Chain A
Amino acid sequence: MKVRKFLEVKEGDTLATLRGFLQRLLEKEIVEALLVPLEAPSGDTVMPALVKEPARLEKANPLAPVMPVNAARLVSSLTIGKPKEKIGALLRSCEIRALIELVKLQQAHLENLMIIGLDCLGTYEVTDYAKLISSEDGSPTMGLVRGAKEGSLSPHEGYQFRSACRICEYPVPQNTALTIGLLGVDGKRILVEAQEELAERLELTEGEAASREEVIKKLVEARIEERDRLFAQFRERVVDIRGLLAQFSTCTGCYNCTVACPICYCKECLFRTSTFEHESDRYLRWAQRKGAIQMPTDTLLFQLTRLNHMVTSCVGCGMCESACPSDIPLTTIFRAVGQEVQAMFDYLPGRSLEDELPLATFKEDELTELGETQ
């Protein structure tokens, strides 16, 4: 059974306390390596790093509200070859959910992996974070950490969180071995949830976070309201063919979204093969037939195909949208379309290893009208 314990925050410094806690995980050999965001030497961002030496954790900053990559991809790289040492991975909720999908897609393994989840307070685009950290207003992190107690997570004035974060219903990570909680916890302590046996080794103290569930509930309700507003706007936009074309008209076929997506794992993507390098004559023939064809060709085909391939497993981390040079609202599109498709199979991506991937299974007695002569 999981127990709820606490870390006392030393000298009002939440980040330093957290760093000390992570160092203990390595020093006590609870894990032999840690995947955790470190402040980059440039000072303007954090990047996930695989840490072996506890002293390196002096630069760890899992609280920084920025997410240059979805680290589930990195856990896939780290575990696909079955590591011999125990690796701890400190992840946000969307990264854990993506990891669960990758495990089911046989692109990651959970053996010798300890998933450490951290309450997510929201993230900025990488460029916004860099601006904020170098401005004179001070850290973009501490205001959020202070607001976590009440669940009032307002972005810095003049900035906003990534759209995926604004509509995220899962600020609290699930499927973890260890959860580090900030929401609904007063700033003097950090909540730690773990199996009793593990918790005993972590030098934790007793305490209470009575308002945690209430704070989380309020936050999630506000996010759902915003989500439903965006979904409704999207559904009004795509009522016909012209609406469909308008969604993706600015796609240039750069495939950044496939690189940023944690789930899009094919080593060789159909769209990046010679299948789509055509003879001159063919382009000209197509142009002749329609009068004109868009160049580059097949960008809408790419988007609709990607939607078909990914939407059942899309966890809504929004990295595709952050990576899109044309600002296509991919988060809303994938999440809104995904909501209906996932509901067809009562599937929530990232919820559980037990739920089978909708495209990998079937029931004999479902969808029985489809295929029959009407």
Chain B
Amino acid sequence: MNEDFEPKIVAFLCNWCAYVGADLAGTSRIQYPPNVRIIRMMCSGAVDPVYVIKPLLDGADGVLIGGCHPGDCHYQEGNYKARRRVAILKNILRQMGFDEERIWLRWISASEGQVFAETVTAMVKALKEKGPNPLKELWGT
């Protein structure tokens, strides 16, 4: 494991739960690694596969998708649809020879600042073990 390697994570967090959870982590001054770039979405169900694939092809080391816990979606069922979409995306990328474990889907509620911090910490650790995304170096994408 290369200790100097700092993975870059792009996170798509839903406006109603995971983003508020991340905000709570900040206002509660919970420490978590600064490796994550957060993009606020209205719903995890609005995360099209293209948003996840683009950063990975451009060399991001991981993509985190955060949504409300099952049953808690602000739009009733967006997170259930996100779950199917992410399952399909991960399956396709695995079949196409890409490491699907660079994509994480996590349910984080508005009150779970601690869970958000722990998720980012765990993801950074897992990505450090994997090493850099090989697509960082390849130009043919």
Contact = CB atoms under 8 A, between A and B. Distances in A.
Nearest to A300: B141
A137 interface: no
A84 to B, nearest CB: 37
A241 B98 contact: yes
Given A241-B97, A341-B92, A344-B88, A370 B49 contact: no
A373 B138 CA distance: 32
Main secondary structure of the interface of B (DSSP, over half): helix
Interface stretch (A64-72, A175-183, A284-292): A284-292
A311 interface: yes
A341 B105 contact: no
A159 interface: no
Nearest to B66: A371
A359 B80 CA distance: 10
Interface in B39-86: 48-50, 53-54, 57-59, 67, 70-71, 77, 79-81, 83-86
Contacts of A240: 97
A232 to B, nearest CB: 13
B88 A245 contact: no
B76 to A, nearest CB: 11
B106 A373 contact: yes
Contacts of A345: 84
A292 B139 contact: yes
A244 B134 CA distance: 12
A294 B91 contact: no
A301 B88 contact: no
Nearest to A290: B139
B50 A371 contact: no
Contacts of B49: 304-305, 308-309
Interface residues of A, number: 48
Interface in A69-102: none
A308 B98 contact: no
B125 interface: no
Contact of A241 (B50, B95, B138): B138
Nearest to B78: A362
Contacts of B141: 245, 293-294, 299-301
Contact of B67 (A247, A300, A311, A371): A371
Contacts of B83: 362, 366-367, 370-371
A341 to B, nearest CB: 6
Which of A241, A292, A341 has the most chain B CB atoms inside 10 A of its CB? A241
Given A238-B95, A244-B96, A362-B83, A249 B88 contact: no
Contacts of A235: 95
A307 interface: yes
A300 B80 CA distance: 28
A368 B83 CA distance: 9
Contacts of A270: 50
Contacts of A292: 139
Given A245-B138, A370-B87, A300 B97 contact: no
A249 B140 contact: yes
Contacts of A363: 80
B84 A304 contact: no
A340 B138 CA distance: 28
B87 A373 contact: no
Contacts of B91: 340-341, 344
Given A301-B53, A341-B88, A371 B107 contact: yes
Nearest to B134: A241
Contacts of B118: 373
B24 interface: no
B119 interface: yes
A337 B89 CA distance: 11
B106 A308 contact: no
Given A304-B93, A362-B77, A370-B83, 5 more contacts: A238-B97, A245-B140, A304-B92, A308-B53, A337-B96
Top-8 shortest CB links A-B: A308-B49, A362-B80, A244-B97, A238-B97, A292-B139, A305-B50, A243-B97, A300-B141
Interface of B: 48-50, 53-54, 57-59, 67, 70-71, 77, 79-81, 83-89, 91-93, 95-98, 105-107, 115, 118-119, 122, 134-141
Interface of A: 235, 238-245, 247, 249, 270, 286, 289-294, 298-301, 304-305, 307-309, 311-312, 336-337, 340-341, 344-345, 358-359, 362-364, 366-368, 370-373
